[in-house]
Amino acid sequence: MRPRRRSIEICAIVIMAAIGGGCGAEHRGEPEGPSIQPDDRVEAQGERLFLRFCFQCHPGGAAGLGPALNNKPLPKAAIETQIRKGVGAMPAFEDLLSETDIDAIAAYVQEMRATRTH
């Protein structure tokens, strides 16, 4: 792994841990803001992948164990690292998802956040 990418991933993991971005054991509330309509093919793919891999833990899924993702002010690189490596109780998905899949989920999560503020 390239040293710069490794540094970015470590920094993102530390940031996520500091703000409690990993899945927790306690039930969390429903996500805030309106539902979104993906703007493009990448976001649409991200939505499908989110529903398959993320929805079961994050609000709106079975039990809502993870935090709402549409109000986390994280850069795309931090979101991608969270998906790849996991933090806290959130598992790592780097062996299950391709870089294209991870990018699509991150784009969808960012669109959720952008939709919330409009």
pLDDT tens profile 11-22: 555 455 444 444
Q: Which residue has the higher pLDDT, 23 or 44?
A: 44
d(CA 17, CA 55): 20
Q: What pLDDT is stored for residue 58 in this prediction?
A: 78
For residue 34, is it left (φ>0), alpha (ψ between -120 and 50) or beta? beta
Per DSSP, 62 falls in state: S
Distance CA 12, CA 75 (A): 9
**How far is the C-alpha of 84 from the C-alpha of 65, rounded, in Å?**
19
Instruction: Give the integer Cα–Cα distance in Å for 10 and 99.
Output: 18
Task: State residue 60 phi and psi, 5-degree precision.
Answer: 95, -15
**Dihedral angle, C-alpha 52, 57, 58, 61, nearest 10 °:** 70
C-alpha 64/C-alpha 56 separation (Å) is 7
> What residue ranges do the domains of the chain occupy?
3-116
Class of domain 3-116: mainly alpha
CB 80 within 8 A of CB 102: yes
Tell which wins on pLDDT, 76 or 112: 76
- Provide the pLDDT confidence category of residue 3 given band limits of 50, 70 and 90: low
pLDDT digits (tens, 9 = 90+) for 39-97: 788 989 999 999 899 988 877 555 567 777 766 678 999 999 999 999 888 899 999 99
pTM of this structure = 0.67
Residue 115 has pLDDT above 60, yes or no: yes
